[in-house]
């Protein structure tokens, strides 16, 4: 029975770790001291980190929806701003 919380906790930790790495990467890129090759590699890494953050946020939203109404998760309404596509 402890499997579900254990499986969900890494998503939160992964989000926090990925977000921290993404912030550090952006800060490094903003200094402008990277070569073109390094910048491209950093950008590619940043896109991957961004996607991991998005997945973790989507999992968190799903958890909240299920917790709000576990009998009818399809009737749960999206979070405000979720349909905006802003990230």
Domain ranges of the chain: 34-72
Contacts for 37 with CB less than 8 Å, ≥ 6 apart = none
pLDDT value at residue 81 = 61
Q: What is the mean pLDDT of each run of 10 residues along the chain (87 residues)?
A: 51 86 92 92 95 91 80 70 51
CA distances from 68 to 35, 71, 73, 74 (A): 49, 9, 8, 11
Largest Cα separation within the chain, whole Å, is 54
Q: What is the pLDDT of residues 21-34, one digit of tens each?
A: 999 999 999 998 89
Confidence (pTM): 0.65
**Inter-axis angle of helices 3-30 and 36-68, to 10 degrees?**
150
């Amino acid at each position: 029975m402890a499997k579900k919380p254990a499986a969900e906790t890494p998503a939160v930790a992964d989000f926090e770790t990925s977000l921290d790495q993404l912030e550090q990467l952006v800060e490094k890129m903003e200094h402008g001291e990277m070569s073109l090759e390094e910048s491209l590699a950093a950008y590619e890494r940043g896109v991957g980190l961004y996607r991991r953050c998005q997945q973790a946020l989507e999992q968190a939203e799903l958890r909240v929806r299920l917790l709000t109404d576990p009998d009818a998760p399809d009737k749960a309404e999206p979070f405000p701003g979720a349909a905006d596509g802003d990230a």
